[in-house]
Amino acid sequence: MKRLSLSMKRAITIVLVGTIAASMAASVWAVRASSQTRLGGTTGAMFPAYQATFLSSSQLISPEELVKILQAPKGEKPLMIQVGSHVLYAQAHIPGSEYIGSASNESGIQQLRKRVEAMPRSKFIVLYCGCCPWSHCPNVKPADDALHAMGFTKVKVLYIPGNFGMDWVEKGYPVAKGD
C-alpha cells in the first residue's frame, strides 16, 4: 500500500472539512427557515411550510360560507384581503376586498402588517389568493402566519381548490373588476 504525501493529506483534509462545513451550513439554514415559517418571519415560496395545504380545516372558510356571511343583513362583515397577484386582483376580485400585495415576499407581508396594525386583534379577517391550485399557493400561509404572529384570533383563509376563476367567478359569486 502506497503512503499519501503530505500535500495529498492536506488536500483530503480540506475537502472533508469543506464538505462538513457545507453540510452544517445547510442544516443551520434549514433550521432557521423552519423556525421563521413558524414565527411568521422571512417569507418565500421556496419553503414548503408556506404551502396552503399546511393550514388546518379550522383555519379555512368555504366560498359558500363566505357568501352567506357577506349577504347576511346582520352580523360582522370581515375585512377581506387578497394576498396574491395584482394582475389577478384587477381581473376579478371579491367586492369590498383589498389588494395588499403578494404575501410570498417580504414587501407583501409588510403591507399586510401595516394595514392591520391598528385594528383590534379580534377583527374578523378573511385572506384569499386563488392564483393557482391550493397545494401550490405560496401566498395564503405566510399571510395567515403573519396575522397570527401579530395576535389576530379571527382569521380565516378562503379555500379555493383550483383557482379564483374556477372556484369563485364561474360559480356566479359576486365579482368586482379593476383596482
Task: Give residue for cell 367586492.
Answer: 95
Whether residue 39 contacts residue 137, with contact meaning beta carbons closer than 8 Å, is answered with: no
Residue type at 48 in one-letter notation: P
More confident residue, 49 or 89: 89
Task: Give residue for cell 389568493.
Answer: 129
Rounded to whole angstroms, how far apart are CA atoms 24 and 29?
A: 9
What is the reported pLDDT for 141? Answer: 92
Whether residue 19 contacts residue 13, with contact meaning beta carbons closer than 8 Å, is answered with: no
82's enclosing H/E stretch is strand 79-82
Which residues have C-beta within 8 Å of that of residue 100, sequence separation ≥ 6? 81, 82, 83, 108, 111, 112, 115, 143
In this prediction, residue 37 has a pLDDT band, given cuts at 50, 70 and 90, of very low
Mind listing the pLDDT tens digit for each residue in 68-99? 999 999 999 999 999 999 999 999 999 999 99
More confident residue, 53 or 126: 126
Instruction: Please give the grid coordinates belonging to residue 29.
Output: 439554514
Would you say residue 56 has pLDDT above 90?
no
pTM surpassing 0.75? no
Rounded to whole angstroms, how far apart are CA atoms 120 and 97?
A: 18
